[in-house]
Amino acid sequence: MKIFNRKLADTKEIIPLIHKDDRGIFFETFHKQKYKKNISIEDEFVQENYSISSYGVLRGLHFQKKFPQGKLIKVTKGKIFDVAVDLRPNSKTFCQWDGIYLDDICHNQFWIPKGFAHGFISLSDVVEVEYKCTDIYHPEDEECLIWSDKKLDIKWPIQNPILSKKDLLGKSLDMITNNL
């Protein structure tokens, strides 16, 4: 496995060691001791989520305030542009964003620790995304940072995404950071 530090403090890209032969491929998608030692994931994963999206669907940017979740994201089918926004007031990368392409060819993963907003946009006809979470989902605690916030100026690869009603009503970065 190869591990790369990303632009935002404490975020990582993980590229698995893929074993390939005439039968297909095999690789580890998670190994508790290795991820703890090499990536410093101390929390237990307590929930795993799975989504299917069509081309141009943007999900996010979601986060929980009282019950923040660390997330380990991977794509099992297709390709996404995955985005994290650092909402940790004491972080050196506070209010900054980073984006990474994840796909089913290189099987890379994105580790986003607690305290970040997270979202992605689908870049394939069908995209399947799985992600492990360090806390359970609390719908009453979820907030949404608007995907198109001018202050963040995220460089999404699609200009007119398909959004849920909830994501259309996301709050600005200023509104969210004033309440942290």
Give the H/E segment covering residue 111.
strand 109-112
Mapped onto helix, strand or coil, the DSSP state of residue 147 is coil
131 assigned to active site = yes
Catalytic residue among 19, 31, 50, 62: 62
Q: How many CB atoms lie within 10 A of CB 105?
A: 9
35 assigned to active site = no
Catalytic residue among 50, 131, 137, 138: 131
Q: Is 173 left (phi over 0), alpha (psi -120 to 50) or beta?
A: alpha
Q: What is the set of active-site residues?
A: 62, 131
